[in-house]
Amino acid sequence: MALMNFHEHVPLAPFTTLGIGGDARYLAHCTSVDEICEALEWAATRSVPVHVLGGGSNTLFDDQGLDGLVVRVELAGVEFDVGGSGALVHAAAGQDWDAFVQSTIDADLIGLECLSGIPGFVGATPIQNVGAYGQEVSNILVAVDVLDRVSLTQTLFDAQSCEFTYRDSRFKGRDRDRYIVTGATYRLEPSARPKIRYIELEQQISAARIDLGRLTGRAAAQAVRDVVLDLRRSKAMVVDPDDANTRSAGSFFLNPILSRDEYDQTCACWQIFAGEAAPAIPSYPSMEAKGGRKIPAAWLVERAGFVRGTTHQGARVSERHALALVSQSGREADLTALAKQIQNAVQTAFGIRLHREPVRVTQDGTVLPSDDNDPRI
């Protein structure tokens, strides 16, 4: 291969936040769209399976590794176009997300501060419709630059065309593996005041004695970012090489969103399982589904018997957040087995099937995006 940064038999574990995965037969570090195209053409002529990787914060590789080519998207660069009433910010897909968030705050722009501390690259945010503490990428994203993996042509999708739903998009659904995200453009507000929509964050801001009413622009956004980072650190959701609890994929399971009838049925199932004196199942209105109720998956996991620190073989529930699963053995099989135990326990207690957030990549390059497609779950 003509690519300068191309390697064989590369351990994949260091490229993921979970620290799991065998060797990739080939790995190409691609810092331009041309290099991505070259890597795809090389693989196509040899019938080599390809997996596209960004920051590795949402990926679980097989213990046997990948018998194919891993294309690591490392495109970098940020461009600001600030006008009187708004700002467009374009970031390349390989840009570190948290560093990008800080750069927007430094530029006196509002809209990403609640998404601080999330690991990974910019390219994953429109795929996953990343969200936290009341902010969501779909609310501020303008357009996504993509590369068609077959035709090697570049296309621009506006936000509506991305078909965003809760932690989902067309890039995870009907167009999975068709496009590679190469960049994204966001619309932010200059010199504005952050909008706090999440109760826990509002409470933490108040506890820190921060008066956002007296702050604007950069100072207000930085204050919110600092509180968000403190919150995430308290849950081991900020990557720290010295903290084993952060070697996770963040929230391993999605928060279930139920209709009102489904929520009532779940409460009835829980009462049968735990008795009439059982605590009520917490829920809050879903912004994604009109009339729906969102249930904290962490609450379900702990009430099903998997409290923080619970260990099974070579994996355990994080000591600081029940939704984070941590590998102790470095084996994908151990983590998958723990996830399956948790899902079965939650389904027995509540009648709810939890769906995992990270994708699993098999040895032959198959991406298993949900439990329904994974024979081991």
Closest CA to 245 of 295, 311, 303, 296: 311
Query: Reading across the β-sheet that carries 367-368, which strands appear in turn?
Result: 59-61, 359-361, 367-368
Instruction: Find the angle CA(124)-CA(129)-CA(130) to the nearest 5 degrees.
Output: 75
On whether the CB atoms of residues 144 and 183 are closer than 8 A, the answer is yes
Fill in the amino acid letter for 267.
C
- Start-end of H helices in the chain: 33-45, 97-106, 124-128, 137-140, 199-207, 217-234, 260-274, 297-303, 332-350
Per-residue burial over 208-223, b = 16 or more CB atoms within 10 Å of its CB, e = otherwise: eebebeebebbebbbb
* 178 token code pair: 């068709």
List residues bridging with 257 in a β-sheet.
294
Closest CA to 326 of 13, 14, 17, 15: 17
Active site residues: 167, 251, 357
